[in-house]
Amino acid sequence: MTTGLWELVLKGVWTTLQLLVFGALLATAVSFAVGIARTHRRWIVRFLAGFYTEVFRGTSALIMIFWVFFVLPLAFGWQLVPMWAGTLALGLTYGAYGAEIVRGALNSVDPAQREGGIALSFTPWQRMRKILLPQAVPETIPSFCNLLVELLKGTALVSVMGMGDLAFSGNLVRLALQESAQIYAYVLIIYFLIAFLLTRLMRSLERRLKARVGKAPRPGVSAPLPVGGGVS
Amino acid sequence: MTWDWGAVRAFMPHFFDGLLVTLQALALGSLISFALGLVWALLMRTPTRWVRWPVGVVTEFIRDTPLLVQLFFLFYVLPEWGLAFSALTTGVVAIGLHYSTYTMQVYRAGIDAVPPGQWEAATALSLPPRRTWTAVILPQAIRRVVPALGNYVIAMLKDTPMLMTITVLDMLGEARLFSQQHFQFTEPLTVIGVAFVLISYPASLLLRALERRLAR
């Protein structure tokens, strides 16, 4: 491969990373907002949040991307920049999966903690911010780690829309060189390396967060491996 | 925003063609992933690390890289190696292989959840290893993991639209073809989006019910 083609691949890596970061930020915001809304007192809030999760978890990410790229401009006259359209589709889809993670973690906090907050006459918001979330968030990290890897894999979907991410530049190089095996092997390895780094980062984040609420892992006892990906 | 019911009606025959292809891919992909996942899970329990280590690395690699690129890899590279399959076959193999790395973890969890007493009883009865697996461990392990496997079938359903990129005319492929021919994007894309929700949501409710029944 020539230097010019490598530059193309690097540009693709950069686009993929940008999409990953923006998508992850939006997905985190969505998952906390919707996940917390699913534990709300009013049924209508719970229902709307549940509806959102089921719809976005029910469709495929690729269909969402098609929808955002083709239907949104025609139906509502919103023509988004490709980067934001991709971020929006990925963030909303993976946010719905994240909402389930947040909900599960909130539900797994010992009920006595909640009752303690009520007894101390905390407002619902104080209870959430000072008691429930600090204990729930460290529990979410392993699942969010899986979801982040799923999101990374999801970013490849925007290449179908002609966005110049890593998978797309891989296709371009294949057209230039006609050596499919080599270039796709490189692309897969780069994706794997990014996923590997993400996993490492999330693991250290988990250790740090758990230490803050007094749940540092005992030496010699490794955490059980999470089963499967976040997307199911 | 304009909604044209005529376009929906015109799209429906194509929709059912696409649905059939999607379901075919899903059924065959599930079978491959169930079988291959079990093979990976059993290989990961062999005593020698010369088997465990390569299997672990390969499956981790497949799990952490995008299915889309794997599809391209199989679709463009296999013919270069003289293995020419149809696009649908390639897609089914890719999906099955990708999801086998997930079902493998499900099987592993199921096998680990079999109480140690069952192993000890098999040893006490001096059952040969083959009988221990086929008559004692696997029937109990697989029963436990059916709902989790079902979840991956739903996840697989939502990944079948990717087959469109390698020219398979699944639901999304049909929708794209239709929109390009008639220049109507809103209706076909919305129809298949709704169809996915209508298939996957009842399926997940069904699985939840199944899970509750098996848990008892």
Per residue in A33-50, pLDDT tens? 999 999 888 999 999 999
Listed by number, the residues of chain B in 72-131 with a beta carbon closer than 8 Å to a beta carbon of chain A are 72-73, 76-77, 80-81, 102, 105-106, 108-109
Does residue A226 carry a pLDDT above 80? no
User: What pLDDT sits at residue B26?
Assistant: 94
Domain presence at residue B95: yes
Whether residues B69 and A191 touch (CB distance < 8 A) is answered with yes
Name the CA radius of gyration of chain B, rounded. Answer: 21
Q: To the nearest whole angstrom, how far is the Cα of A44 from the nearest Cα of chain B?
A: 20
User: What pLDDT sits at residue A229?
Assistant: 43
Domain presence at residue B211: no
Whether residues A153 and B151 touch (CB distance < 8 A) is answered with no
Distance CA B121, CA B131 (A): 12
Q: To the nearest whole angstrom, how far is the Cα of A151 from the nearest Cα of chain B?
A: 9
User: What pLDDT sits at residue A216?
Assistant: 64
Tokens coding B91: 């897609």
Q: To the nearest whole angstrom, how far is the Cα of A142 from the nearest Cα of chain B?
A: 15
Percent helix, strand, coil in chain B (nearest 5)? 85, 0, 15
Does residue A225 carry a pLDDT above 60? no
Listed by number, the residues of chain B in 134-173 with a beta carbon closer than 8 Å to a beta carbon of chain A are 148, 151-152, 154-155, 157-162, 164-165, 172
Q: To the nearest whole angstrom, how far is the Cα of B200 from the nearest Cα of chain A?
A: 6
Q: Which domain holds residue B156?
A: 19-169
3-state SS class at B167 = coil
Q: Is the pTM of this model over 0.90?
A: no
Confidence of residue A219 (pLDDT cuts 50, 70, 90): low
A–B interface: beta-carbon pairs under 8 A: 134
State which CATH number among 3.90.1010.10, 3.90.180.10, 3.40.190.10, 1.10.3720.10 fits the domain covering A3-212: 1.10.3720.10
Whether residues A70 and B189 touch (CB distance < 8 A) is answered with yes
B190: nearest CB among A71, A160, A180: A71
User: What pLDDT sits at residue B216?
Assistant: 59
User: What pLDDT sits at residue A195?
Assistant: 94
Domain presence at residue B198: no
The CATH number of whichever domain residue B137 belongs to comes to 1.10.3720.10
Q: Write out chain B's pLDDT in tens, 216 residues.
A: 678 888 888 889 999 999 999 999 999 999 999 999 999 999 999 888 899 999 999 999 999 999 999 999 999 998 888 888 899 999 999 999 999 999 999 999 999 999 999 999 999 999 999 999 999 999 999 888 988 898 899 999 999 999 999 989 999 999 989 988 888 888 888 999 999 999 998 998 898 888 888 765
Domain presence at residue B186: no
Query: How does DSSP assign A128-165, residue by residue?
Result: IIIIIHHHHHHHHHHHHHHHHHHHHHHHGGGGGGT--S
User: What pLDDT sits at residue B17?
Assistant: 92
User: What pLDDT sits at residue B79?
Assistant: 87
How many domains would you assign to chain B?
A: 1
Domain presence at residue B2: no
Tokens coding B82: 């003289």
Return the residue in B67, B106, B158 with the most chain A beta carbons within 10 A, the one to mutate for interface testing. B158
A183 reaches B (C-beta below 8 A): no
Tokens coding B2: 């304009």
Distance CA B78, CA B85 (A): 8
A174 reaches B (C-beta below 8 A): yes
Out of A164-178, A206-220, B51-65, pick the least confident. Answer: A206-220
B7 reaches A (C-beta below 8 A): no
